[in-house]
Amino acid sequence: MRKSRIAGLGSYVPERIVTNDDLKQWVDTSDEWIQERTGIKQRHWVPDGGGIGSSDLGCEASKRALADAGLEPKDIQMIIFATLSPDHMFPGTGVFLQRKLGVPAGTAALDVRQQCTGFIYGLSVADQFIRTGMYDRILLVGAEVHSSGLDRSTRGRDVTVIFGDGAGAAVITPADEESQIISTHLHADGNFAEDLWLEYPSSKEHPQCGVEQISGDHTRHFPKMKGRQVFKHAVPKMAEAVFEALAKNGVSLADLKMLIPHQANLRINEYVAKQVLGLPDEKCFNNIDHVGNTTAASIPLALDECRRLGKVQKGDLVCLAAFGAGFTWGSALLRL
């Protein structure tokens, strides 16, 4: 059975930069408080006022990924779009990207709703379609517009200071002699679904989101997170996912050129890399300090930036790892 590879990468963040000091106009916080807990100095947000969605950011990242792969929109046979911030509740955001990018009508479009692990889940799906021979050219996108859905008050501080907007894209094609997606590994545990979630809108309720859910102190339409619980689970699960990928393929940490973890919190990534895995700083790439947590976009954003900086090159062994809402977690081992 043939294998797949990442043939092109692209990323995009909005021009607007929101620093930790900028957040003080809404939130009782400080640059020191945010950096100490998250490692974030700034993030990119779309302009206030609306009109820009995840598909718009994904479109820009996709153009760059296609150019990097030497392909055009007409060459794409399937779109996989990972996001927790869709343009609309339905239809899926992938079809809006298809229209904006100019991918031909009739091309398959699939949305993935696995939050922070969305890109790895999407990569696994794309890998299987390539391996079976069903498709030869798949566009995988992770894109988020978080800023329009955050509680910009001190009440929502723990979540609001973390998230940024952005998009990353990858073109997946059959492998060549140097590059391949070696394996992917996916996991979930729904016992902790409410520890990081958005409660409303909910199809369980009628109406799906009423005045009682959004008025006064009832802000159940904003994301909620139990930070300590997330940290407690994220560290061992991400490490386990890395070890799983290495063991499956008979390679060691010493063989890795780079670990690229989901950019949820720099403190989580530092603990996983240094304390659990024992990796030196130069073998774990982080960019959360200047883009924040971009959820499904974070891994392709980091991978593209890492490559552009020359820290990884074609043929290098790279491990991707993520943990997020669900709880879901996973990893992917690849030759870039």
Q: What is the pLDDT along the chain (336 residues), one digit of tens a residue?
A: 899 999 999 999 999 999 999 999 999 999 999 999 999 999 999 999 999 999 999 999 999 999 999 999 999 999 999 999 999 999 999 999 999 999 999 999 999 999 999 999 999 999 999 999 999 999 999 999 999 999 998 988 999 999 999 999 999 999 998 999 999 999 999 999 999 998 888 788 777 776 666 666 657 788 888 989 999 999 999 999 999 999 999 999 999 999 999 999 999 999 999 999 999 999 999 999 999 999 999 999 999 999 999 999 999 999 999 999 999 999 999 999
Helices (H), the chain: 31-38, 54-69, 93-101, 118-132, 157-160, 211-214, 227-248, 266-270, 288-291, 298-308
CATH of domain 181-196+225-335: 3.40.47.10
Q: What is the pTM of this model?
A: 0.96
Fold designation for 4-176: Peroxisomal Thiolase; Chain A, domain 1 (3.40.47)
Peptide bond into 91 cis (omega under 30): yes
293 in Cβ contact with 264 (< 8 Å):
yes
How far apart, in whole angstroms, are the C-alpha atoms of residue 107 and residue 281? 42
Catalytic residue list: 116, 262, 293
How far apart, in whole angstroms, are the C-alpha atoms of residue 301 and residue 297? 6
Q: Give which of 272, 222, 263, 230 is closest to 41, Cα–Cα.
A: 263
State the span(s) of the chain assigned CATH 3.40.47.10.
4-176, 181-196+225-335
Dihedrals φ, ψ of 192, to 5°?
-115, 25
User: Please, is 187 exposed, middle or buried when counting C-beta atoms within 10 Å of its C-beta (0-12, 13-18, 19+)?
Assistant: middle
The H or E element containing residue 197 is: strand 196-197
How far apart, in whole angstroms, are the C-alpha atoms of residue 138 and residue 156? 38
How far apart, in whole angstroms, are the C-alpha atoms of residue 113 and residue 193? 13
